[in-house]
Amino acid sequence: MSYDAQFRVWRGDIEGGELKDYTVEVKEGEVVLDIIHRLQQTQTPDLAVRWNCKAGKCGSCSAEINGRPRLLCMTRMSTFEETDVITVTPMRTFPVMRDLVTDVSFNYKKAREIPSFTPPPNLKPGEYRMQQVDVERSQEFRKCIECFLCQNTCHVVRDHEENKESFAGPRYLMRIAELEMHPLDVADRRNDAQEEHGLGLCNITKCCTEVCPEHIKITDNALIPMKERVADKKYDPIVWLGNKLFRR
Ligand code: SF4
Ligand code: F3S
Ligand code: FES
């Protein structure tokens, strides 16, 4: 069983562009990425789209479908009515390169700004001991496929280019939280999270969590605990006294 669907796809580059209308065949069991590929094969061989695994694991095919940040390869055509017009646009937060492909280098820059895992200096490989609960906490965060849908969605940067310099975004604030909560990491990341990576700009709207294709509880399990740790440090009377004495 197949039918013809109406697609509106953004075509253009950094100079500008527009939505273009296409009628394209849809077959049973297909996902939106299949339809984009059929468009390339039959009507628009120059349509640019980034993809790799077609299995929701490489994080390459992020875009917006009817305005919602989604993976093209994990969005089934059966979630739409046959009469729906389906609009596919590039991620809004990052500069367009061409058509559905954006320049996501903002994220690589933010990743590089976070100091790596810092175990105690004398600890040798094989001497690491962790509780299962700590292993599981890290494992949840490590399911991240770096699709950057959360980074694209967060309102702090989505329409505020001016915040990009001072805000790492949910994916990298989660990385800081992962390291801060790691029992073997000896670096104190709380001050940097707040002062250098913009943790205070997050007002826990949870939009990042809603779009995560790996269903990582970014806000509840990473951002809120990190905010609590920052607050504990700030309002801890012993830390407060230490700061006072140190400043004298
Ligand atoms: Fe994508 Fe989720 Fe990782 Fe964000 S945390 S980059 S939404 S997988
Ligand atoms: Fe943005 Fe997520 Fe915080 S959407 S405001 S980082 S909870
Ligand atoms: Fe790899 Fe969609 S193509 S996540």
Ligand nearest to the CA of 145: 1
Complex ipTM value: 0.99
Would the CB of 101 count as within 6 Å of ligand 2? no
- Report percent pLDDT > 90 for the chain: 90
Pocket test for ligand 1, best of 70, 107, 108, 144 (most atoms within 8 A of CB): 144
**Residue 202 near residue 223 (C-beta atoms within 8 A):** yes
CA-to-CA distance for 131 and 69, rounded, in angstroms?
36
Of all protein residues, whose CA lies closest to atom 4 belonging to ligand 3?
Answer: 56
Q: Is the pLDDT of residue 235 over 70?
A: no
CA-to-CA distance for 165 and 67, rounded, in angstroms?
25
- Beta-carbon contacts of 246 under 8 Å, excluding residues fewer than 6 positions away, are none
Domain 2-101 has CATH 3.10.20.30: yes
Q: Is the pLDDT of residue 111 over 50?
A: yes
Mean pLDDT of the chain: 94
142: three-class secondary structure by DSSP = coil
CA-to-CA distance for 172 and 113, rounded, in angstroms?
9
Residue 148 burial class via C-beta count within 10 angstroms: exposed 0-12, middle 13-18, buried 19 and up = buried
**pLDDT value at position 245?**
62
**Residue 240: C-alpha distances to residues 129, 234, 244, 246 (Å):** 32, 7, 6, 10
Please give the distance, rounded to the nearest whole angstrom, from the Cα atom of residue 115 to the centre of ligand 3. 28
**Residue 239: C-alpha distances to residues 103, 224, 245 (Å):** 42, 21, 10
Pocket test for ligand 1, best of 64, 107, 141, 149 (most atoms within 8 A of CB): 149
Pocket test for ligand 3, best of 51, 88, 212 (most atoms within 8 A of CB): 51
Domain ranges across the chain: 2-101, 103-246
Please give the distance, rounded to the nearest whole angstrom, from the Cα atom of residue 208 to the centre of ligand 1. 8
Question: Considering only CA atoms, which of 82, 84, 86 is closest in space to residue 28?
Answer: 82
Q: What is the CATH number of domain 103-246?
A: 1.10.1060.10
Ligand nearest to the CA of 146: 1
Ligand nearest to the CA of 208: 2
245: three-class secondary structure by DSSP = helix
Question: If pLDDT is split at 50, 70 and 90, which confidence band does 58 have?
Answer: very high
Please indicate whether the domains covering 2-101 and 103-246 agree at the CATH topology level: no
What mean pLDDT do residues 182-195 have?
94
- Beta-carbon contacts of 121 under 8 Å, excluding residues fewer than 6 positions away, are none
Ligand 3 atom index nearest CA of 71? 2
Question: Considering only CA atoms, which of 104, 46, 13, 59 is closest in space to residue 211?
Answer: 59
Pocket test for ligand 1, best of 62, 212, 218 (most atoms within 8 A of CB): 212
CA-to-CA distance for 199 and 222, rounded, in angstroms?
11
Q: Which residues line ligand 3 (CB under 6 A)?
A: 51-54, 56-61, 71, 73
Please give the distance, rounded to the nearest whole angstrom, from the Cα atom of residue 63 to the centre of ligand 3. 11
Question: If pLDDT is split at 50, 70 and 90, which confidence band does 104 have?
Answer: very high
Pick from 58-67, 181-190, 193-202, 239-248: least confident: 239-248
What mean pLDDT do residues 62-81 have?
98
Ligand 1 atom index nearest CA of 211? 7
The pTM of this model reads: 0.92
Please give the distance, rounded to the nearest whole angstrom, from the Cα atom of residue 28 to the centre of ligand 2. 36
